[in-house]
Structure 1
Amino acid sequence: MTDHWHTPLRHIKGRELSGDTRQTSGMTRLEAVSGKTVGSEKVWMGQTHVAPATSSGDHHHGEAETAIYVVSGHPVFVFAEDGVERRLETEPGDYIFVPPFVPHREENPGEEEAVVVIARSSQEGIVVNLPSLFTAGTETETD
């Protein structure tokens, strides 16, 4: 039987984040809290960095819900809704929620690196990379 009252807290220093997690082209994911790093059972947390003038590949995160907090830069989150490309333009302090299985990508049209903190409802960094979702003929709307 586990003694939860005496289980120690875990401290993950920013300089100790691991890149040993699933990656998507055009971005770098760094893992902080996971089953692998601290033995978490219900949450994955880390950072994503997108260089200036870069777009990630299209992907989704399986059954995991994903919450995103924008730390720096102005990343754009792109997804399709009813055949229309939707673009959520963000700034530092904004939050984004990505439901399970929703294909999307991150873009950074700015001149500075975009950094976000990510939390997922899984102990693993689930990433399913996809072929391009959007075609030249897709209608676009910006939020």
Structure 2
Amino acid sequence: MPGEVQVKKASEINAPTGAQTEGMIRMNAITDMSDQICGTVMIAKPHTASAIHHHGEEDTIVYAAKGHGTIVSGPNGSKRQDLGPGDFALIPAYAQHQEVNDSGEDIVWIITRGGRNPIVENLDGWGES
């Protein structure tokens, strides 16, 4: 028998929750509701960067809802990929990366991960585990 449809209202998604990385505000939206998927909202304030991190065994899809930001990845952070409103990115499981907001405006990204709850493993630097 199928499960019930569940809705999380915007008014319920308004405080930092869940795993955090420095420089980013992460708010749980759809978490602990499905064994296979979860969703969060990430806000990066102007001129901030997250810690270098990965999301463990979870593949991650990013949808850029507002602002212009960058995902830094690759060996020693050698690759920079810019995202603007409407862009998507796929971050594979265990891929080390960093979110960067070099702009003067907030960026808002909608994050979907392949797991019941979001995993964030902060690292001391590139290549750490």
Shift of 1:8: 2.5
Query: 1:61-104, CA deviations, whole angstroms, 9 ceiling, x for partnerless residues?
Result: 001000000001111000124x5610001111100100010110
Aligned partner of 2:95: which letter? V
Structure 1 or 2, whichever has the larger Rg, is 1
- TM-score, with structure 2 as normaliser: 0.91
Is the partner of 2:126 in helix, strand or coil?
coil
Q: How does 1:113-132 map to 2 (within 5 A)?
A: 113-132=106-125
Matched, 1:45 2:27: no
Aligned partner of 1:20: which letter? T
Matched, 1:85 2:78: yes
Alpha-carbon separation, structure 2, partners of 1:119 and 1:76: 17
Q: Structure 2 regions of 5+ residues with no counterpart? A: none
Alpha-carbon separation, structure 1, partners of 2:123 and 2:30: 25
Match of 1:14 in 2: 10
Shift of 1:13: 0.7
Is the partner of 1:70 in helix, strand or coil?
strand
Match of 1:29 in 2: 26
Aligned partner of 1:119: which letter? T
- TM-score, with structure 1 as normaliser: 0.83
Q: Structure 1 regions of 5+ residues with no counterpart? A: 135-143
Task: Among all aligned residue pairs of Structure 1 and Structure 2, give the percentage whose two residues are the same amino acid.
Answer: 30
Deviation beyond 4 Å, 4+ runs, structure 1: none
* Count of residue correspondences: 126
Matched, 1:65 2:62: no
Is the partner of 2:64 in helix, strand or coil?
strand
Task: Find the partner of 1:97 among 73, 79, 90.
Answer: 90
Match of 2:99 in 1: 106
Is the partner of 1:78 in helix, strand or coil?
strand
Quick check: 2:77–2:126 contact (8 Å CA) kept in 1? no
